[in-house]
């Protein structure tokens, strides 16, 4: 067998493995996306779920680009159940992609436990920092223009959960930033402990089907 044939077969096996892993992780993420919960001091429209855990695992195990692909598929599959005309899914995709791509890119260059921790902390910081102006200038205005959900109503819901919220800037600084910091750190903590078992599960599933 020539080196070219061996390389071609190896490349095909790697691609099949990555596609298989992406499918399994997407399925996990979709299920977890439906298991959303409310958080203390957060308005009713802002729910937390654990769907970023399998997405982050994908970014670590098969690469940051595949993490973004899983993030996209997760949100596309969730679209039929949307209650926000797709605005929530768009926001989830963009902010989630920032988080997992940043973390995955750093981990790709530093594949150690310390590298993973640093990657997830930097990813969390990027999530909180960049999502703040994105939510201020894009997401919140879209809720008003597309859903007819005025800013004052959003401020009112946030104020009902946290009496310190009085204007749009407060919504960002006291609601969205803490929410994203909490989300990034909790997802990072869980991923740190479940990454190895889930990676082994994916590999076993691939080996059984091929």
pLDDT in tens, 55-68: 999 999 999 999 99
Predicted confidence band at 121 (pLDDT cuts at 50, 70, 90)?
very high
pLDDT reported for residue 45: 87
Please check the confidence at residue 200 and state whether its pLDDT lies above 70.
yes
In the predicted structure, residue 208 carries a pLDDT above the cut 60? no
pLDDT digits (tens, 9 = 90+) for 29-63: 999 999 999 999 999 889 999 999 999 999 999 99
Task: State both tokens at 20.
Answer: 């298989």
Token pair 């970014």: residue: 59
At 198, the pLDDT band (50, 70, 90 cuts) reads confident
* Paired strand residues for 37: 48
In SS3 terms, the chain reads as CCHHHHHHHHHHHHHHHHHHHHHHHHHHHHHHHCCCEECCCCCCCCEECCCHHHHHHHHHHCCHHHHHHHHHHHHHHHHHHCCCCCHHHHHHHHHHHHHHHHHHHHHHHCCCHHHHHHHHHHHHHHHHHHHHHHHHHHHHHHHHHHHCCCHHHHHHHHHHHCCCCCCHHHHHHHHHHHHHHHHHHHHHHHHHHHHHHHHHHHHHHHHHHC
For residues 6 and 25, give the distance between their C-alpha atoms in angstroms, rounded to a whole number. 28
Q: Is the pLDDT of residue 3 over 60?
A: no
User: In the CATH scheme, what architecture does the domain 3-209 have?
Assistant: Orthogonal Bundle (1.10)
Cα–Cα distance for residue pair 104/122, rounded to 1 Å: 10
pTM for the model stands at 0.90
CA 57-74-184 angle, 5° bins: 50
CA 10 to chain centre: 30
Domain edges within the chain? 3-209
């Amino acid at each position: 067998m020539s080196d070219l044939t061996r390389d071609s077969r190896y490349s095909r096996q790697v691609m099949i493995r990555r596609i298989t892993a992406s499918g399994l992780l997407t399925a996990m993420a979709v299920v977890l996306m439906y298991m959303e919960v409310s958080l203390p001091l957060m308005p009713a429209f802002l729910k937390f779920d654990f769907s970023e855990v399998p997405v982050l695992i994908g970014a670590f195990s098969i690469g940051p680009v595949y993490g973004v692909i899983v993030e996209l598929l997760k949100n596309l599959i969730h679209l039929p159940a949307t209650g926000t005309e797709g605005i929530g899914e768009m926001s989830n995709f963009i902010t989630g992609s920032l988080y997992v791509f940043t973390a995955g890119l750093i981990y790709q260059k530093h594949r150690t436990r310390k590298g993973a921790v640093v990657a997830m902390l930097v990813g969390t910081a990027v999530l909180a920092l960049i999502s703040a102006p994105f939510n201020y200038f894009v997401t919140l205005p879209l809720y008003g223009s597309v859903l007819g959900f005025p800013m004052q109503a959003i401020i009112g819901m946030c104020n009902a959960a946290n009496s310190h919220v009085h204007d749009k800037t407060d919504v960002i600084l006291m609601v969205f930033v803490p929410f994203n910091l909490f989300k990034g750190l909790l997802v990072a903590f869980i991923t740190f402990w479940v990454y190895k078992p889930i990676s082994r599960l994916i590999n076993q599933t691939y080996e059984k089907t091929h």
